[in-house]
Amino acid sequence: MFNTINYECHEGISWIKLNRPDKLNAFIAEMNREITQAVKQAAKDEKVRCIVITGEGRAFCSGQDLAEVNDDTNHGDLLRNHYTPMVKAIMACEKPIIAAVNGVAAGAGFSLALACDFRLASEKASFINAFVNIGLIPDSGNLHFLSHVVGRAKAIEISVLGEKIPAQKALELGVINRVIPQDTWQKEVEEFAIKLAKMPTKAIGLIKRYLTLAENLPLDAYLEKEAEGQRVAGLTKDAKEGVQAFIEKRQPEYIGQ
Amino acid sequence: MSEYVFIETKVEGYIGIIELNRPKQLNALNRQMIKEIVQVMESYDQDDTVRVILLKGKGRAFSAGADIDEMSNDDPIHLELLNQFQDWDRLSVIKKPIIGAVQGFVFGGGFELALSCDVLIAAEGTEFSFPEVNLGVMPGAGGTQRLTKLVGRTLALEWIWSAKRIQVEEAQSHGFVNRIVSGELLEEETLKFAKMIAEKPPLAIRLIKDSVNKAVDYSLYEGMQYERKNFYLLFSSEDQKEGMNAFIEKRKPKFHGK
């Protein structure tokens, strides 16, 4: 089915594992395409209520495979044809997406992690906006996401200096949500994914959608949009279950609809 | 309830609804389907229980365009004798307001059908395009004319030459989409809008459409002359008397369309 990634679904969670461990999971065009396809597939699959993107082996993703780049490469078209569709697929997906950053996330690998909704990092993980080190600029939405996450000043520092950021430092900067010790890594990532998969999925999707609108609209226009969004949420089975469970003083059981 | 093959129809509280019903083919328009749409629109136009017409498409796309299989072997003489676009001319003389609700793909003939509506409400993520050029042809049901009158020559040429997919936000910013709503609420919000129009005095609504349409084709002077005749005409309606009396008496008017 896929050559450059492993794709598995169980317990409402879809696992997308970048699988070029001998190349530190560097991107080749095929891997861009397969991630895009896998995310779209998971977005459509009604059983899936959470997506985890992680790397096989010791790296999360080392960015573009430079063996595929030469003097004839049009860097703009490389992005348009391969990275942009991947970033758009991730952004269009209305299910929670976790980047489980098991090791180094460099260049476009850092961008991939930034495009996700949550970033959990192993204590062995590190982040590096390596682009400038080969005379390029952060791509795949990197500056857009990064500046939202850390603000302009830190985004410039991280992008211009191109230095390695260890997991703990990334946590302090707010780039990631949590650092997890190596020996409980797998367990804690799974627990977090299961927790998200049991939540009211439709509401999570709406939160993602309306956060984007909130970033782009003036308040008055946003407030009208928000009313629409809450109307949609209010019509879901999970909203009814949530209120019912509250009245009955029990734990809600959400079905994601 | 519906005797039509490719559409579904129903009337609900002054709103005559037409739903394109070939969701598996993304509501690709064939000639029979257009005939059905036009027939129902004309019957709604004569039906006193209908004040507003609502056009929508079942499934994930409003309409991905014309049915290519149907026309791939056509020759010019056959097309001339068939005169299929005459049905589209009939669409443009419908007097009652036509509200379009669009989502997903609005391509080719589907785009032309959307442009034949008076008001368009679109779901987030809707895309418009004229892909005809990629098949070696061009829009034939008003696309080059209606789009140009809406967005101007420069953009119309770019879009129709390139077959570019126009995102709904861009469509709104160029004025051919009235509102963007979340997909889940497309039906609810469109009905709300249709009901709002249906509560207004139908004769005024009718002559407003008539006059605004003249602004597209007439010179300003001719259009203003035309407008004032319609303005005078409304003073022969019961609704004008009711509207103005209610205003003076500080109560809500009750309009009957007479």
How far apart CA B163 and CA B157 sit, in angstroms, is: 10
Q: Which two tokens stand for residue B210?
A: 């008539």
Return all residues near A14 (Cβ < 8 A) that are at least 6 apart.
A7, A8, A38, A41, A42, A45, A48, A50, A51, A52
* Same-domain status, B127 and B241: no
Looking at the predicted structure, is the pLDDT value of residue B185 above 90?
yes
Residue B257: inside a domain: no
Closest by alpha carbon to B101, among B52, B170, B166? B52
pLDDT at B73: 84
Q: Which CATH class is domain A201-247?
A: mainly alpha
Q: Does residue B100 lie within any of the structural domains?
A: yes
Q: Does A211 reach chain B within 8 Å, measured CB to CB?
A: no
Q: A181: which 2 tokens?
A: 């010790």
Look at residues B178, B198, B218 and tell me which one is the last residue of a structural domain: B198
A85 min Cα distance to partner chain B (Å) = 15
**If 0-12 CB within 10 Å is exposed, 13-18 middle and 19+ buried, where does residue A35 land?**
buried
Same domain for B160 and B237, yes or no, is no
Distance between CA A106 and CA A23 in Å, rounded? Answer: 13
* Full domain range(s) for residue B238: 202-248
Residues B170 and B62 in one domain: yes
Same-domain check for residues B211 and B99: no
Does this model's pTM top 0.90? My answer is: no
Model confidence pLDDT, tens digit, residues A145-173: 999 999 999 999 999 999 999 999 999 99
Give me the CATH number covering residue B93: 3.90.226.10
B138 and B163 both lie in a single domain: yes
Q: What is the mean pLDDT of chain A?
A: 96
Look up the CATH number of the domain holding residue B240.
1.10.12.10
State whether B74 and B125 are in the same domain: yes
Are both B137 and B167 inside the same structural domain?
Answer: yes
In a domain, B1, yes or no: no
- What stretches in chain A show pLDDT beneath 50? none
Q: Residues in chain B whose beta carbon is closer than 8 A to a beta carbon of chain A?
A: 124, 181-182, 184-185, 188-189
Task: State the ipTM, two decimals.
Answer: 0.80
Are residues B170 and B216 located together in one domain of the fold?
no
The residues of B assigned a catalytic role are 112, 132
pLDDT at B69: 83
User: How many domains would you assign to chain B?
Assistant: 2
Same domain, yes or no, for B235 and B194? no
The per-residue pLDDT for B94 is 97
What span, in angstroms and rounded, lies between the C-alpha atoms of B173 and B171? 5
Which of A210, A231, A236 should one mutate to test binding to chain B, selecting the residue with the greatest count of B CBs within 10 A?
A231
Residue of A nearest to B179 (CA): A225
Q: Identify whether B221 is part of a domain.
A: yes
On whether the A5-197 domain is CATH 3.90.10.10, my answer is: no
Delimit the domains of chain A by residue range: 5-197, 201-247
